[in-house]
Structure 1
């Protein structure tokens, strides 16, 4: 009988990383579709090979062939062209792959050897049954390379193997072996009984053995990934299964005398080869392993049912002992897998429950220990939970039920009205509201101002479930605001006083200029007129000289008054140190009528602002001494004190009558001193001396770099 021969099945597992050419475009635009990323030569090979598959499939339809038998152009030429196209698809994969090059070179070489084996059979052997031949060697090596590639991809896809995944892989391999042993046992028996040579028998049995190996790896991969295969893995796996089915069917028909040229097996074999070659170009990401309900039992249950089917088939049709053995082992592995899954799931459920309880305990401890107001209520406004801080702010006992307490009852009347009119509509519209509010204290204490964030709590389906609120006591913030407002008002009042003092100072200077220099200049003008009339009338020289002397005295007095005004306006503290400036002020204001002494702490160095302020206030105190104290001695002391500087002006005069420090209309000296000091953050105090006289104490803060 003619010895059956044919190429073995198998195919590459999917690409584990995108092949070359899958990156985005160079101009930074969006990456094109996966088909456009495939190199042009690969697309040409794929289209040519797919066209050959379609031609062979149509030719296999009964009645299409004009006559039975081999048609050289169709069965040889079209097939050879189709396998060449598949090789053209596979070979660039090895050159262009940037990762796992060994793997993809194995796939490329395997598809190329399959094409070369077919070409050798057509062109050299002319379809003669020669065993073994170079074509057989090419097909066997191709199958071995595909097995190696399949194992590498399976190892990459599932790097972390658990016991259950390992059992799933074992069950998949046992199931594949049971099915192949059952399907091919009769065929193998016929081959052995046909009396063919050992070489021919070994060659024909090598193909199903390789198919069993490939199907075992694929079944194991399906078990390891629970059926979650990427598009590339699924495509090449379909190609492997298709080739294995073609090999098994071809061997069965050949041994039972039912094989003939031009059957659908020809198109199916070429299609399987094309899927194996093209699978590596498909886009893929390694599929993540996710835990399924019931421990991912879907795949092992299906495999166990197949093993049971093999055992059940024995009641209808004899199943070889090897098939019975594989099927029985498969059922036992499935039972073991179920037991491990049940035990593992139970243990994992206990661990998950314990972890959830621990998480709930942590969250509860966090909420209970929080100083913020945390509450939960129904969508209708009924309060169902208050943390201890919330109970404390509302004046509710720490223990005990909340009863029918509502959100509105926990607020002051004004806050409750705002909650109904503003907050609730916004919460319904946007899901949350933030702002200030006021809590009622049920014990009669003052209301508690809070800043709150109220929001809708949703369930797992995204539906509104409860209302939650987190509020923070801002009583200190309100107190700070009140204090800041008080300070702002006080500062505004001080500024008003300062402006009044400046205006009063300007008015005084204007009055002094009008009363002294202007009046003197007017008098001088009149006297000059009198001198002129006397000269015109021929008055004697003595009378004229007497009048001119009076004018000189008047002008001299006017000059003295102008110098005093200029000194009053000018501040030597802008140019001199504080001791020198105060000495000049004392010399000018007190003169020789009062003995004075200025003492300044060694090394004291103030900035210009502090010097001018000290000078102005101390000078005003000296003026008061000259005008009101009737003192004979004045002492001015300047020294460091705390974070500032202290100036003390003490005299031995009559002292302060009771109430004399109260400002009176037209007497703003003390008020001006206090206002100036207050604006600088300091203070001015006046008191009677221990024995007699008055003591003025000034303190102002100074910056660290002023000293």
Structure 2
């Protein structure tokens, strides 16, 4: 609708006689009438209660109304139509309803629709009062409107308002001061706001600064209309676009790059222009008649100094915005950031923030997969849409992925930073796995203690108490009925044998007796012989395995092999299983490999989450500070590899 009104205004201009026609065919109000209502409607669809969006929409409609009232009132005056004076009267003051809110209410209420704090409410009331006073004063002031060769009197002019004309200038200065106060509210918001709010203010502030600079330039320098109208129209049209970008947060973080490039190339243009024209002026003052040679010399000097000057200005602006482009300095800064963090998770968050700032993107995230198939995501900035993936590899193994938004960031720099992030991601995964293992170990230990307490309290305790009572009863009957005592003692002996069996089962649960009788190698061979099927081969690659081992390591190795053989027999459908023991400098290595069907895989090619048995093997290895990995065996089947650190027989710490 607003676009149709603007086009109608442009068409009406050609119906006005030439003597009554405005000398300026195009003004910023035409752009405002076209752009502001459209952008305001787009924002209102997403944020229907946003005051700033309603304000932009209303300013655009009023600008479109002014665009059509100007030629319509001129045509009516030229034709002598009825009501021409009222049309010209409305066209004179309606611009205040669009211009004054644009420079006062919009910056004061941006971006959330409220002043920065309650202390700014008096300024809001003052602005509203000044807008009303300015509009009423312009509407009721007795004056004559000039339309070509004709003069039209204000049909609603009030003589009392004309007597107050002396107050018009102070009121204008007060309005200017209020507008500057509203612009200052943006600076206050920028200083106290967070990263998102600062960038929202940066978008609007960037465009407003351009509008103010162009307006001041037009007042100071006599600029031709054709040269002035194009940049000022573009700058005015940029105000609602900047507001929409900031409020809807579409590519919000690009304002840093825009301001950076503007400062660099603006300063570069100023320096090179001053150098060129200064050199020409100096040559002409020193030696007259060599203007062409001076221009050539100036062009050569500017060409020689352009690239070094641009690099120096770029470094200065980068220091101002705390942006680093040297990959080696970035790597050093990233390393120092990681070293100063309190834990690996905080180090990854700091490293992500440095990476996002170095690449100039709005958001970045690292996705880390744990050993049980789960995924942890650490992000910084806007992580809603991150389609680009860079794998994070640590010693040949993929530990996670770096997720980045689509954009033209430096791929080489992103790959360099990804290598440093891989180390931090590996540390985060190790820390998380260690914490989870500790929690599972503590939980398993408490469950084992609870089971042992229950067995002792509910089973062995009452049994021993009953045996004591039976002994007391037999002792009392010994003097009165000695014949029955013999039968009671025989029954008591059978019950004691059964109790000894229960105690033996409890002890076997704590430590297998085969380890004490046969040693680790013999116990594993006995365990293999007890397995009816499939065939199990125990291979000892080092004779030192049979030497003295720590008790905890023996139990962990035995239980891991026992669980692995049980899983292979029940789930793998294997025909042959091989158990290998190897003692190395770092400790004891166990390998249990079968030729069965292998591990089940999910649809996305991952190993499903570990069950109780697999988790138990990992917990036993982690309790000693070792590791246990379960994966596919080359050639088919499953392979369990456990590495257990050992202490020497004399008690030296493990390597």
The two structures have a TM-score, normalised by structure 1, of: 0.29
Q: TM-score, normalised by structure 2?
A: 0.30
Relative to total residues, which structure has the larger helix share, 1 or 2?
A: 2
Q: Using CA pairs under 8 Å that are at least 6 residues apart, name the structure with larger relative contact order, 1 or 2.
A: 1
